[in-house]
Amino acid sequence: MKNLFAPYILMLLPFGCLAQMDERLAAEIEQLEPQVIEWRHFFHQNPELSNREFNTAKKIEAHLRSLGLEVQTGLAKTGVVGILKGDLPGKVVALRADIDALPVTERNDLPFKSNVRTTFLEVETGVMHACGHDAHTAILMGVAEVLSKHKDQIKGTVKFIFQPAEEGPPPGEEGGAKLMIKDGVLKNPDVDAIFGLHIRSDIPVGTIKYKSGGTMAAVERFVVKVQGKGAHGSRPWKGVDPILISAKIIDGFQTIISREAKLIDDPAVITVGKITAGVRFNIIPETAEMIGTVRTLNPEMRELIMRRMNEMARDIAKAYGGSATIEWENFTAVTINDPDLTAQIVPSLEQVAGKENVVVRKATTGGEDFSFYQELVPGFYFFLGGMDPNDPMQYPHHTPNFRVEDEGMLLGVKALSQLALDYLNINS
């Protein structure tokens, strides 16, 4: 296997220089790969939904304690933090992994597929790591093991943050990065910079992609409540049909994107993902409810879209004899990679992956609550290849057939390890 690290001894260099990893440390990581894969398979077979990651947290905690790290538990309900204090003084760098799964029923043929079932929002469903968080968790556990063996050469402190509920807490609950911050995850010791990654099913194994500045979208969750008037299905003129009104509102929302949002500047998305109305084929119900998301990369466009959706829902419903209101919940801010930090540490990624395999990408309308950390400290978030380039069938994230390759995780362990060491060396 090609050695991804430069063949020099690990040493602490003057300010402005990158620390080099020796072949022994690279070999340690490669020897750890089977264990990282085993962890990933365990988490994949035993997924837990947001704010319910109890057994996941116990396994992470046990591993961090076995390494002799200072361990904090119970942050944001099920969050776990490991603190590795180097023997040399310096800054504090945080590495973050998300640990929650999704209410998706797995439909692939993996030998470690999930058969877990649960009830989510009163609907029976499977539970699946359909976004790669199982890989993120295993990668960071591997980084913690590797770096813990070299604390005598670490100039500063590394915080390993295992965060629950990145996909969003259940309705009515707090969770995710916001609650981790509220519970003090960036304090004691105070974090100077934070790094995170996301494995992707559409990026080839061995490739890293990133973007300086705005890289992922702000995410809003909206609930439209439509009030109509019930009637017999054979006599619609006696009622006000909230299902028809909902259809017109959805159609109207899409004209905001196609006719009002200046998409040549920044992309934006409005998606309705759930509609609930009625109980029987021959009854026009009194109410309907739609739940969806808005994704924006521009604050002005976000304001425009939310304002126009409020107006459109109200006025379309009124035109058909009903009424409608919208409730909003902000899930993430724009994920902004600090430009100075990005310029400083991209060479570290090029060291481990090869310059030709580190690629600048365009912004995406996906969202990440990692953005809330970046509002408080400089942060950098990148994308890790998990796609088998020889497999023509690649399924998107959040779908039943989603999969990423185990082979992609080795580069993730090496990249986060290199980022942590180089950041501490350069800035301490």
User: What tokens appear for 137 in the block?
Assistant: 């968790």
> Catalytic annotation on 166?
yes
Same domain, 245 and 390: no
What is the extent of the structural domain holding 290? 218-332
* Annotated catalytic residue within 28, 48, 53, 166: 166
Read off the pLDDT of residues 341-389 as tens digits, 9 standing for 90 and up: 999 999 999 999 999 999 999 999 999 999 999 999 999 999 999 999 8
Of the candidates 332, 352, 372, which is a domain's last residue?
A: 332
Same domain, 101 and 182: yes
Same domain, 156 and 228: no
Q: Say if 121 falls within a structural domain.
A: yes
> Once rounded to an integer, what is the mean pLDDT over residues 34-53?
98
- Give the helix, strand, coil percentages of the chain, each rounded to 5: 35, 30, 35
Determine the pLDDT at residue 391: 82
Q: Say if 404 falls within a structural domain.
A: yes
CATH number of the domain within which 295 lies = 3.30.70.360
Of the candidates 332, 350, 385, which is a domain's last residue?
A: 332
Question: Structural domain tally of the chain?
Answer: 2
Same domain, 295 and 416: no
Q: How far apart are CA 85 and CA 375, in angstroms?
A: 25
Q: What is the DSSP letter of 239?
A: S
CATH number of the domain within which 181 lies = 3.40.630.10
Same domain, 301 and 316: yes
Same domain, 322 and 298: yes
Same domain, 179 and 222: no
Dump the DSSP string for 360-420.
E---EEEE-THHHHHTTS-EEEEEEEEE-TT-S--PPTTSTT----GGGHHHHHHHHHHHH
- Mean of per-residue pLDDT scores for the chain: 94
What number of other Cβ atoms are within 10 A of residue 271's Cβ?
Answer: 15
> Catalytic annotation on 174?
no
Q: Say if 50 falls within a structural domain.
A: yes
**Secondary structure (3-state) at 407:** helix
* Annotated catalytic residue within 100, 241, 368, 406: 100
Q: How far apart are CA 141 and CA 151, in angstroms?
A: 16
Q: What is the DSSP letter of 267?
A: -
Determine the pLDDT at residue 253: 98
pLDDT at 13 over 70: no
Determine the pLDDT at residue 9: 34
Q: Say if 351 falls within a structural domain.
A: no
User: What tokens appear for 389 in the block?
Assistant: 């380039």
Which long-range contacts (C-beta less than 8 Å, at least 24 apart) are formed by 234-238?
A: 234/282, 236/284
pLDDT at 16 over 90: no
Same domain, 166 and 188: yes
Determine the pLDDT at residue 17: 47
Same domain, 200 and 229: no
Same domain, 194 and 311: no
- The strand pairing partners of 97, in sequence order, are 162
Q: Say if 64 falls within a structural domain.
A: yes
Q: Say if 12 falls within a structural domain.
A: no
Query: Kindly report the CA angle at 420 between 162 and 50, in degrees rounded to 5?
Result: 15
Same domain, 237 and 200: no
Determine the pLDDT at residue 114: 98
Of the candidates 332, 347, 370, which is a domain's last residue?
A: 332
> Once rounded to an integer, what is the mean pLDDT over residues 120-141?
96
Same domain, 197 and 121: yes
Q: Say if 14 falls within a structural domain.
A: no
Q: Say if 385 falls within a structural domain.
A: yes
